[in-house]
């Protein structure tokens, strides 16, 4: 049941410290600081020279996040919408690993892309929450995120776990295929272990309900981010439109000036996500929106320069830049939740949507 929470979505947002701890459990060897994945012996990914991630919706945003984590670890990777995969038909060979990311493991679009990859001779792997799901059975291998059941139609805790799982997988593929993991990722593994506590702290002190209330009357809601902040901007906007029914869009920060800026007015708050990747540029992009009258809500640590510039602030603990976006995402989940709640929306069952989409 929902226990003390009014909605499953809020309960599942609050479960993230636990679900993330479960995702990580036993998967980082504390002595060697190496990733150990059950059923994947060292060297399993030695031959992998390219990774294609396929997924839909929120899982696609996690896949995009994962593709960037793979690139940063030195592994060639692209994320593709599963429903575009058959027409894009990117070349695969037996050194291509195709990773299907799906909470349910039953999404028809994702299964179709997975089957196509299998037919074309790629190695396939699924990252899913559901043991025994179709994706888990049909892929060559499976990694389970162990998030526990997710009842709310809007995916929340499973996004965080998918992204962290992909971050671990990136390290592991880099270690097998490239023989090493880039040195600048050294603080990443210890910081992954700190994520459950970091989210706990964030949830206790979040100002998301006040922010949701203050900006509820706006016309449109924009989310911008760069690098790992970009998939978080897309996810922030998807969650917002799904459960509030208000118009929301996510953009790469640098793209604002290439068109969307025409939409920016004092009625379009801009949530700017800072992940420590060229933040000065994102801040400049946010200021360009602010000059046109848009209120800017900075999502970043307290001591970040953006706090002074922005009209409002949602705080995140200071962690490795590879993880900051996941903390920002939790704040944005809460903003969507409180906005939808104030609007009286049926949060756990938004109109026209189903938890698992079994048609193409
Ligand atoms: C968004 C949402 C959907 C799913 C998408 C893929 O909150 O829930 O966008 O993420 O339908 O579903 P799975 O991950 O089960 O393949």
Taking the centre of ligand 1 as the mean of its atom positions, its distance from the CA of residue 331, in whole angstroms, is: 19
57 CA closest ligand 1 atom index: 9
Q: Is 355 a catalytic residue?
A: yes
Question: ipTM for the complex?
Answer: 0.99
DSSP state of 120: T
**Residue-wise pLDDT tens digits, 38-62:** 889 888 999 999 999 999 999 999 9
Active-site position among 2, 241, 349, 355: 355
| 194-213 confidence digits (pLDDT tens) | 999 999 999 999 999 999 99
Note the pLDDT of residue 306: 98
Binning pLDDT at 50, 70 and 90, where does residue 33 land?
Answer: confident
pLDDT of residue 182: 78
Q: What is the pLDDT of residue 209?
A: 98
Cα(105) to ligand 1 centroid in Å equals 10
How many other CB atoms are there within 10 angstroms of residue 228's CB atom?
25
Which residues, judged by CB distance below 6 Å to any ligand atom, belong to the binding site of ligand 1?
Answer: 56-59, 102-104, 107, 110, 154-155, 242, 356-357
What's the mean pLDDT in 309-323? 96
Closest ligand 1 atom, residue 107 Cα: 16
Average pLDDT for residues 223-245, to the nearest whole number? 98
- Protein residue with least CA distance to atom 16, ligand 1: 102
Res. 178 pLDDT band, cuts 50 70 90: confident
pTM: 0.98
At 140 the pLDDT is 97
For the cut 90, the answer to whether the pLDDT of residue 334 exceeds it is yes
pLDDT band at 36 (very low <50, low <70, confident <90, very high): confident
Atom of ligand 1 nearest to the CA of 155: 7
Instruction: Give the DSSP per-residue string, 216-268.
Output: TT-SEEEEEE-TTHHHHHHHHHHHHHHHH-SEEEEEEGGGGGGTGGGG-STTS
Distance from the CA of 156 to the center of ligand 1, in angstroms?
A: 10
- The answer on pLDDT for 14 being more than 80 is yes
């Amino acid at each position: 049941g929902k226990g003390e929470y009014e909605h499953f979505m809020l309960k599942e947002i609050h479960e993230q410290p636990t679900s993330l701890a479960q995702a990580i459990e036993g998967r980082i060897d504390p002595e060697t600081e190496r990733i150990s994945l059950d059923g994947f012996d060292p060297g399993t990914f030695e031959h992998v020279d390219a990774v294609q991630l396929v997924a839909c919706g929120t899982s696609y945003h996690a896949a995009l996040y994962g593709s960037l984590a793979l690139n940063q670890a030195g592994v060639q990777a692209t994320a593709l919408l599963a429903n575009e995969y058959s027409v894009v038909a990117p070349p695969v060979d037996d050194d291509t690993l195709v990773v299907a990311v799906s909470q349910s493991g039953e999404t028809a679009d994702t299964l179709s892309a997975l089957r196509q990859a299998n037919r074309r001779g790629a190695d396939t792997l699924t990252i899913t929450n559901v043991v025994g799901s179709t994706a888990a059975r049909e892929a060559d291998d499976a990694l389970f995120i162990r998030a526990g059941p997710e009842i709310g139609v809007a995916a929340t805790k499973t996004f965080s776990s998918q992204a962290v799982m992909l971050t671990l997988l990136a390290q592991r593929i880099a270690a097998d295929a490239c023989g090493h993991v880039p040195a600048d990722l050294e603080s990443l593994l210890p910081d992954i272990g700190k994520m459950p506590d970091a989210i706990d702290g964030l949830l206790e002190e979040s100002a998301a309900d006040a922010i949701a209330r203050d900006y509820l009357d706006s016309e449109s809601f924009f989310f911008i981010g760069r690098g790992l902040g970009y998939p978080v901007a897309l996810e922030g906007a998807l969650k917002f439109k799904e459960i509030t029914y208000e118009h929301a869009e996510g953009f790469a920060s640098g793209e604002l000036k290439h068109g969307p800026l025409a939409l920016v007015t004092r009625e379009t708050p801009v949530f700017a996500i800072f992940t420590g990747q060229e933040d000065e540029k994102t801040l400049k992009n946010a200021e360009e929106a602010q000059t046109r009258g848009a209120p800017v809500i900075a999502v970043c640590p307290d001591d970040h320069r953006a706090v002074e510039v922005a009209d409002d602030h949602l705080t995140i603990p200071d962690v490795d830049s590879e993880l900051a976006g996941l903390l920002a995402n939790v704040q944005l989940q809460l903003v969507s939740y409180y906005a939808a709640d104030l609007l009286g929306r049926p949060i756990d069952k938004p109109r026209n949507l189903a938890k698992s989409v079994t048609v193409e």
